Amino acid sequence: MTTFKALPAFALGLVIAAFAGMAASAAASEKVRIVALGDSLTAGYGLAPGESFVDRLQARLGEEGIAAEVIDAGVSGDTASGGLSRLEWSVPEDADAVIVELGANDALRGVDPEVTRRALTQIVEKLQARGQAVLLAGMLAPPNLGPQYEAEFNAIYPDLAETTGALLYPFFLDGVATEASLNQPDGIHPTAEGVEVIVDGILPKVKELIERARKGETADG
């Protein structure tokens, strides 16, 4: 019987490389579970089945051959504090990664930015303590709340990403906000076409999130 020790060095190198390649391939094909912890923007308010952010993101990842399951944990009307209060039962501990899309309702209601910041900080820290990779989907305050509120609120997401090392997609509604043709009559929630724009924009960051999850990384460095 031939053993690894009896193989020439070159052949042994090929065997080791083959095993390494098999291991890498198995890791890449292992399905990553991603939870979208959010509000009506992830829950698919006003959209038909199959048109929500979660559904379309799942489909796009599948089209690109990426083994991932995207789970909807969106609750319409939820604030960052609301997301924090239900974190333990909304996000399973065996999930690999989480997209945190919260804060839009805080801004619409004029919630003190410090309250939103504290809630989001606790959410991210709790998820990272579990070993879950996090992607922050940022939000921007409406300008009618004034420049001070706008500045304080808009700084939350980049600040939190910097301090925790979480991934950041700066504005979840990038390319959709204020575009009437991409929003439902309320001017707040995206149409099916608007969701496609959102998925197109955030997809590269979701791929980074999946890569982190597969490597067991929760933050930069």
Is the separation of the CB atoms in 154 and 140 below 8 Å?
Answer: yes
Say whether 32 sits in a helix, a strand or coil.
strand
Instruction: State the catalytic residues.
Output: 40, 186, 189
**What is the distance between the alpha carbons of residues 166 and 48, in angstroms, rounded to a whole number?**
32
Nearest to 32, CA basis, from 126, 98, 123: 98
Q: Give 130's contacts (C-beta < 8 A, 6+ positions apart).
A: 93
**What is the distance between the alpha carbons of residues 109 and 11, in angstroms, rounded to a whole number?**
67
